[in-house]
A and B are shown apart, each in its own frame.
Chain A
Amino acid sequence: MVYKQRLDGRKDDELRPIEAKAGVIPNATGSASFKIGKTWALAAVYGPRELFPKFLQNPKEGVLRCHYGMMPFSGSGERVRPGSNRRAQEIAMVIGKALEPVVDLSAFPNSVVDVYIDLPQTDAGTRCAGLSAASMALADAGIPMKDMVSSVAVGKVDNRIVADLDYREEHIEEFNPESEGASVSDIPVAVIHNTGEVVLLQMDGKISKIELVTALRLAQKVTEKIYLEQKRALLERFPRE
């Protein structure tokens, strides 16, 4: 009953292959595509633009508004009904809260910056991929930012603390006969690059305090790899003179 080796052979701190690209949606003010393994998030930023209805406006600074949606064919099971639901709304909310600390909208009173995240295919870690894409899209849009937000899920699969769980690891009992009765805890984390501060943290499953801190340290370490991919993609879009 021990998880000896990760199902896809990765090391515990190894992420799935990442493909990041900025400026993929010409209509948007800024945009990005972020693929990690078979999870693929697109993010588009529109604005700053005037916020309607007017009572939502903030005369002191702009409002950041996030939207998250899985495309109808992006679920690994049945078709996902289009339109919002409670899960999507909650994810959009925590993504927004994760971006607020790095985004400075003080120059845009009464405005809104809309961030739309849509996923063409998913294999776990969608909120993290969406958030990493959104952070790039905001930078691509030229929105004033203090730093990048880089996000990945860490977790405990049976006895191991691992980074970037995929769908099979999240459902280890179903896919690994040796893991009967094993528990999985899934911990989406987002980190501000320079300070290492945590801006998104959720957990589903069982974990001890010591294990959680270990997992967070792992998240800090591996989000650095995500940051480097985000930076590389943005540099590719805006080459240095």
Chain B
Amino acid sequence: MISNKETIVALAAQQKRLDQRGLLEYRKPIVIETDISWTAEGSARVQIGSTVVLAGVKLSIEKPYNDTPDEGGITVNVELLPLSSPKYESGPPGMAAIELARVVDRGIREAKAIDVKKLCITPGEKAWFVIIDVVTVNDAGNLFDAAGLAALAALNSARFPMVNKETGVIDYKHKTTTPLPLVKQPLPLTVYKINGQLMVDLSTNEEIAYDARLTVASDKDGTISALQKGGSEPLTVEEIDAMMTIALEKARFLREELQKQLK
């Protein structure tokens, strides 16, 4: 496919895209599968077009932080695997992976999606900690939305492992039927601006051409829990307003897909 920045920018002016999609149209198919990894307490595979990411939830028992002795905690980590794109190299996470992990993390954390008090086992001593790892398998663009969707699907599928009553040691080979205390369902959605036009679900080809992006994490009722502006161009308040409207509307669309396919 011919894909230079100028073409994408020029097409945007005519409200067109390289692959004939509408500006607010997601790639197809959108596939959400859960329990794809038996070794994880919860896991999911998300495909948007040809972008594929996996997410896995691991639980561990740790000492709570001193300032929150009656709370467990969550961590989100993203690995942009060299397996998934020629642009990634082996080594410690770069800026893209760190930002991605932070944005997914804040969407979940700030929505208070997990009732961290319910993760506490013995105040000041023991609490459950939730680690969500998202790894890329094929990066064909829009990792923010794919990673957020995979993380949420994996959280929904997670079940606590058994704990040996005498030793307090986790028996990872056996799961209980108890799900995580997941009280909100935050989903990040990213709206991009190319040549004055707003669009969603950029492919890798299009990602080289955006001027600005805004990721909006929102819950079912439209409550916003995290925002992240990216890109090197500024946004007007009017543009931000319009981007939020699109983000909330498209989040509803992705959430419907999630509910349809989560079983």
Give residues in A with beta carbon < 8 Å to B: 25-28, 38, 40, 42-44, 46, 49, 67, 69, 71-79, 82-84, 114, 116-118, 120-123
Contact = CB atoms under 8 A, between A and B. Distances in A.
Contact of A79 (B37, B38, B60, B173): B60
A42 B38 contact: no
Contacts of B71: none
Interface in B57-107: 57-58, 60, 77, 79, 81-86, 90, 92
5 contacts: A26-B140, A42-B83, A76-B173, A82-B79, A120-B37
Contact of A74 (B37, B82, B138): B37
Nearest to A25: B138
A120 to B, nearest CB: 5
Given A72-B133, A116-B82, A26 B90 contact: no
B133 A28 contact: no
Contacts of A117: 83
Nearest to A167: B173
B84 A25 contact: yes
Contact of A77 (B37, B131, B139, B172): B172
A14 to B, nearest CB: 21
Interface string B24-61: 00000000000011111001000000101010111010
B251 interface: no
A125 to B, nearest CB: 14
B133 A25 contact: no
A72 B77 contact: yes
A73 B82 contact: no
Given A42-B137, A72-B131, A79-B131, A28 B37 contact: no
A26 B1 CA distance: 14
Contacts of B60: 78-79
A73 B39 contact: yes
Given A26-B140, A27-B138, A67-B90, A73 B37 contact: yes
Nearest to A29: B86
B216 interface: no
Contacts of A28: 83, 138
B79 A114 contact: no
Contacts of A40: 37
A71 B86 contact: no
A28 B43 CA distance: 24
Contacts of A114: 82
B27 to A, nearest CB: 12
Bin chain B's interface residue count: 20 to 34
The binding surface of chain A is classed by DSSP as loop
B135 interface: yes
B39 A75 contact: yes
Given A49-B86, A78-B60, A72 B79 contact: yes
A46 B86 CA distance: 7
Contact of A44 (B43, B57, B84, B135): B84
B110 to A, nearest CB: 23
B63 to A, nearest CB: 16
A124 B56 CA distance: 19
A120 B79 contact: no
Contacts of B58: 72-73, 78-79
A25 B77 contact: no
Given A116-B81, A121-B38, A121-B39, A73 B57 contact: yes
Nearest to A76: B39
A114 B85 CA distance: 12
Given A27-B138, A79-B133, A121-B37, A72 B86 contact: no
Given A27-B86, A73-B133, A78-B60, A118 B81 contact: yes
A82 to B, nearest CB: 5
Q: Which of B39, B57, B140 has the most CB of A within 10 A?
A: B39
Contacts of B40: 73-74, 121
Nearest to B93: A82
